[in-house]
A and B are shown apart, each in its own frame.
Chain A
Amino acid sequence: MADKITIFINDKEYQVDAGQTIMQAADKLGFHIPRLCYHPKLSIEGSCRVCIVEVEGARNYVASCSFPVSDGMKIHTNSQGVRKARRDIIELILDNHPLDCHTCERDGNCELQRLAASVGIRARHFEGEKKCYDKDLSSDAVIRDPNKCILCGRCVRMCSEVQEVHNLTQAHRGFSTVVMPAYNMPMDNSVCTNCGQCINVCPTAAFLEKNYTQELFEKLNDPDIIKVAQFAPSVRAAIGEAFGLAPGRNMEGELVAALRKLGFDYVFDTQFAADLTIMEEGSEFLERVQNGGKLPMITSCSSAWMKCVEQFYPDLLDNISTCKSPMSMQSALTKSYFAQKLGVDPEKILSVAVMCCTAKKYEAARPELEVDGLRSTDIVITTREAAWMIKSAGIDLLNITPEEPDHPLGESSGAGAIFGTTGGVMEAAIRTAYELYTGETLVDIEVEAIRGLKGIKEGKIVMDGQEIRVAVAHGLGNTNQLMETIRKEPDKYHFVEIMGCPGGCVGGGGQPYAQANTIPLDEEALQQRAQALYDLDRGKTIRRSHDNPDVQKLYKEFLQSPLSPVSHKYLHTHYQAKTPKGIVPKETKTGV
């Protein structure tokens, strides 16, 4: 129990715990002090100065995000002086901001806009020179617009502290300060993993996903092509938030219906490919265990993680599963198995993926994922882009009649659903691998040890007397630690699941922006999104991937068996070491 101390906020007396900041104490007491650079997941930056308060006896205003409470402290959050200073600070930020709100992608969902409104800036006093930089449009996934940047440093801290990618940093000084990758490299030649977490935490539009909605609308209006959509598990768990719903509402049926209304001829479910991934990956794992292959085997579903491993862990590439991600498996089958069924030329098919992820845009463009020279996934849009398209097309997502995904690539098990949250792939794999290995059915199929938001989770399962040790990490920072462990102790684990984003795909870089008065990547919201997927799993009769009848049919009709040559052609790939400019050479990384 922390000691209680007495503080005064705006002349009212309160008993609060010692050892916390003014902002923490005020939050609990119902005083929301305006803030900008603060984020609970990130270190205290203290840079925006929006959260200043007056403390009696202090020489200056103090930043409430960093200043600790002390006994007898008299705090004023709304004195005339503080209000005026805070207002002027926000005005100064606006003075160096493009102010093209009505044409900005974040119009209506911009923290700076909300903040300016909340402090009541009605006149401008200090306008002058504005910064002027080129947009960095080089990346297929994440675009950077320094003109929109207000230098709160959240992206820098997210990229270095949570993701430990260290791609972004402030450069130059004073008014010329700008956030950029090392050596001002374009994003596509930087160490950016395209995870998109910078977008999630950016209060404005300094980082955005590369937008494909206009191109997609154009294609949807083309009568000569067959439009096929797939959508990731965690999209259904989050898209409702973009329509004002609380986090954690499963919108699967509504989303299927909306995508059809948008003009898609077929709507498949990426959860189908998730089940398929388990068949392939589970079999690959068993094959490695039985034939002395390279262990631990590490999952390969997360596109950001795959770029990360190519850049930073080239020595571990043999540990990576050769399976493509579910999205790429689904697309490959859409343009082969499904095209054959329809009897059409695969070139006539437009394969669109609705993903919680920005890195999937980058993945879709990877040449090694082409099959017979044909790109599998043509367009990837994020949850956010999908939500905007649905709104833009005038579709009432909230009141639409739910529909079912199409066959033969739409049926899924509960195991496929939980792919969208950290630990889900591992849990799904255990359900199937156990049965494939032992021939017996696993009774207790919910693996609590690897659920939840702990950074690195470990579990054990005994199969025919053999102990299989597994580990799960989410977010590239946690992943970093786990990889260092694996480098030092290669025998510690047999099977490792990695998701590049905090919380797994539910916390993907393409998920809806935080609404007013909520925090991006709020842990509670992540848990609620995950819960929606776990509920979906529980609600299904089929909860193991190998029991999915469409999957069984696919093997019978097309793939023959897991790891067959046909499977390898469509569902497996390989990865190569990459060295973008500015990367730390391998020799200088610890442990190599």
Chain B
Amino acid sequence: MVTPIDIIKKKRAEAVNRIISKGYLSTKRVYVGMATCEIAAGSKEVMGEFRQAIANGLTDVYLSQKGCAGRCNLEPTVEVVEEGKIPVKYGKVTPERAREIVERHLKKGEVISEWLI
């Protein structure tokens, strides 16, 4: 008999595979806060910049939205996570900053320390 637990384990494995197939194992994972508060602070535009960068050929990046982590006065927030490295968390990201994060961090690996949370 297949139990609900069996079903859920299978579903989880499938889900993980789907995530991986979207490039989760890329070297850099970028998360953009997209809750109402973040959007109000301008995160849609920030997300737009990252999307644009990928459309313009930026590779090896897994871009995802996320909910609000709770750091209200530093929104919008963006995290860049690399396996084996300490996750990098940027606060008060503007479209301009997003463009710079793409150029300096995502393309050249430079952590822009003055914008860190």
A and B touch in the complex (CB under 8 A): no
B residues with a Cβ closer than 8 A to A are none
